[in-house]
Structure formats: C-alpha cells, structure tokens
Structure 1
Amino acid sequence: MDRSEYLVHLGNLEFFHVKTGCCDADLPAQYFCITMFQIIVEGGRNMLKTIHSTVLSADVEDTGLNLAFCFTPECGDYEHEECVNQPNQEETSLDENLLMEEHWRKEESMHI
C-alpha cells in the first residue's frame, strides 16, 4: 500500500506532521500517525518538542476506499526536499507508534 507523509507549517516554529498507512491489508482500518511539534532553541542547539502525538484509525472495511492524502499535494512545501529529509533522521515505524498508543491507553486507564 502507498503511504503518504505531509509536513504543514503552522506559523512561527510550529509544525504538524501526518503520515498515512496500513499495518496489514487484511485489517478493516487505515491508520494515521499525527504529530504536532515545535522547534525550540536551547543551549544553542535546535531541538524538537512534541506538543501532541497520536495514532488514529479510520474504518474502511467494505468501502473500497484507500485514503492516500491528508493534505492536497498542490499546496507544496516551503522547505527544500534536502532540508526535510535529513540523512540522520530517525523514523518510528507505524507498529512502534501503535505499541506506544496502546501503552498510553493502559496508563490512562490505570489513573481513572
């Protein structure tokens, strides 16, 4: 399945990253990883501060739909391709994000 990723500049140093994909073609849902973050400068270094991050699913069973774009590609991006795709960029897989989401839900249910 095709996956898509988009980085949206919200103004100042805040951004919104959306990634679409599926874990398994036989599953009835399509997943979206959504992260809002801010670039902060601390001690002369640029760092990313995660404001909010979540994994959501859309029920697409028996619809024949495949959601490929969360934002239209015509909008473009202000950053050059080489700025966005840094060589040492660490990428978290969808499976890791789902495990983290499951962990957060367990943590929240323990505090209720």
Structure 2
Amino acid sequence: MPDLTPDTIHAATESLSRLTAYLRNDPDPDQALSLVEPLLDEYTGLPVQLADTLRALARTVHHHRPDTPHSKEVDLLLRELRTAAWEQSDQHTLHYVLDDLRSLYARKSPSEPRCGSCR
C-alpha cells in the first residue's frame, strides 16, 4: 500500500464532494442508495472509520509525541477528539436507514405517482 499523503486524503474528500453534487441533481433513488451504501456500511463506513481515525489521532498525540507538552489544554483537546469519536460511532446505525429507504422504495407501487425524473 502506498504511503498516505495529504493529497490522497484530499482526493477522498473530493470524491465525497462529487457524490454530494451528484445527489443534488436528483439521480435515480436506486443509484443514489447504491452509491451511499458503502459510506454507511455498519463495519467499514464513514462513521466507524472517522471515529477510529479520531481515536488514533488522540492516541498518537498522547503517546507517541514526547515533544507535545502534556497540559490541561492538551488533555482537553484530546478529550474533545475522543468525544467526537464516540459521537461518530453512534452514527454507525445509519445503515439501517438505507435498508428502510430501500424497503420503502421497493414497496412503492408502480401505479403510484412519482417525481418527474422517476417516471
């Protein structure tokens, strides 16, 4: 695996920006759900990955940086990172929302009126 750089992380965030722009253009719901599904995967989706990243950053600053002064300010910032990580972890259930949306969309009768782009 190649080394990570800020550019590779920027490329990932650019992909998310492109997805958001795509979704704002009212794509087919099936396509939209399939594109968002990997982001909200229960085990590997963004909420879980971001939570793990925030925890790892807090650990790195706390344990592996002897040149970082340990002060109340640093402790508070590390606590904020860890709190944010827990908040992100709580979002791991968003994959159920996708399941419910997919289910509702599939149950929709073909005779029911739909938006103009879905007809």
More strand per residue = 1
TM-score above 0.5 = no
Q: TM-score range by the shorter chain?
A: under 0.3
Higher RCO, Cα 8 Å, sep 6+: 2
Say which one has the larger Rg: 2
TM-score by length of 1: 0.27
In proportion to residue count, which structure has more helix?
2
